Amino acid sequence: MSLVSAFVPIWILTAVGYAACRWGLLGEAVASVLGRFVFHLAMPSALFLKDVS
C-alpha cells in the first residue's frame, strides 16, 4: 500500500498537467520550458531530499 501512496502525488500532478495542456491554460512553449526545469532543477534537487516519514 505504501508503494501506491508514493505514486499518488505523481499521478495527481500528471493529471493536472494534462488538464492544463488540454484546456490551453499555459500556452505553446510551456512543454519545452517545464521540461528544461524538471531536467535541470527539479530532478537533481530530488536527489538531496531526505525521507522524513
Q: Can you give the residue ranges of every domain in the chain?
A: 2-46
Give the pLDDT band (50/70/90) at residue 28: confident
Give the pLDDT band (50/70/90) at residue 31: confident
Mean pLDDT of 5-28: 85
Give the pLDDT band (50/70/90) at residue 2: confident
For residue 53, pLDDT over 60 is answered with no
Q: State the pLDDT at residue 50.
A: 66
Give the Cα separation of 17 and 13 in Å (integer): 6
Q: State the pLDDT at residue 52.
A: 54
Task: Kindly give, in sequence order, each residue whose CB lies less than 8 Å from that of residue 21, ignoring residues fewer than 6 positions away.
Answer: 30, 31
